[in-house]
Amino acid sequence: MSPARQLKVLQKTDFDRLLLWLDPNPEHAGELYEKIRWRLIAILASRGCCVPEELADETIDRVARRVTDIEATYTGDKSLYFLGVMNNVHHEYLKRPRLAELAPPPDDSVAKEQTYLCLDKCIEKLTPHAREVIEQYYAADRRAKINLRKRIATALGISNSNLRLRALRIRAKLQVCIERCLEASQTAR
């Protein structure tokens, strides 16, 4: 077996062990893993890191490789262990010589079109009420937005802040649906 293949197999084993350490239930473990990765990325981005996803994955890899050593003795919130490792990874990143600052990739018109198509599909999947809320929430222009949102909130019998929360929750569901749709379309290509 080549060293590269050996490493890959090792990582797969470590990754499975990591999930098992997080939660014996594979479904819960998967959800927890996704949450931890999102938190790591959010924190690294907030610290101004240009490659937050890369460093988050590096953090998870390191934790996965150490699970064998710590699983017997570690107590407390397991997700906090990731925060400690992430601090080290970020510290090392800051010491790296800075190459040219990475700019976000340019707009991809094909991806834009695909996002639009997925948005249409996902809006269709919403309940009529949710669709109405999201349509009205995004319909008004900048100036009229505040007034319109007040009217929608009054019509729904809820406060302005609750309307915002409701619309954002629907929007979050839309986001998940769109991401899945985009993944599916990429696989189909």
Partner 1 sequence: MITNLHQPKFSDAAIRRFLLGQLRGNDLSAFERALFCDSSLEQRTRLEEIALADDYATRRLRDKNLNAFIQTFRFTAARRNQIEVSMSLNECFAPRAEAHRAEKSLTFKHPVWRWALAAMILIMLFATVWLVMKEPQMVKVPRRFLHSNAPVTPTPEVAHHAEHATEPGAHRDELPPAPSHEAALDVIVLDSAVSAENAPTVTLATLSDKCHLQLMLDGTSSATFLAELMTSRGELVYSQELTTAAGENRISFDVSRERLVGGDYQVRLTREPDGNLKTYYLRVR
- Nearer Cβ to partner 1 (95/142): 142
The reply to whether 29 sits near partner 1 by the rule CB under 8 A is no
The reply to whether 135 sits near partner 1 by the rule CB under 8 A is yes
- Nearer Cβ to partner 1 (76/157): 76
Q: Please select the residue that binds partner 1; options are 11, 17, 20, 50, rule is CB under 8 A.
A: 50
Under rule CB under 8 A, how many of the chain's residues touch partner 1? 57
Any idea which residue has 């619309």 for tokens? 167
Report the first-to-last Cα separation within the chain, whole angstroms. 33
For residues 129 and 157, is the Cβ–Cβ distance under 8 A? no
Q: What's the rounded Cα separation, in Å, for the pair 56 and 66?
A: 16
Burial class (CB in 10 A: 0-12, 13-18, 19+), 44: buried
The reply to whether 172 sits near partner 1 by the rule CB under 8 A is yes
- Where in 90-129 is the site for partner 1 (CB under 8 A)? 102, 104-105, 111-112, 115-116, 119-120, 123
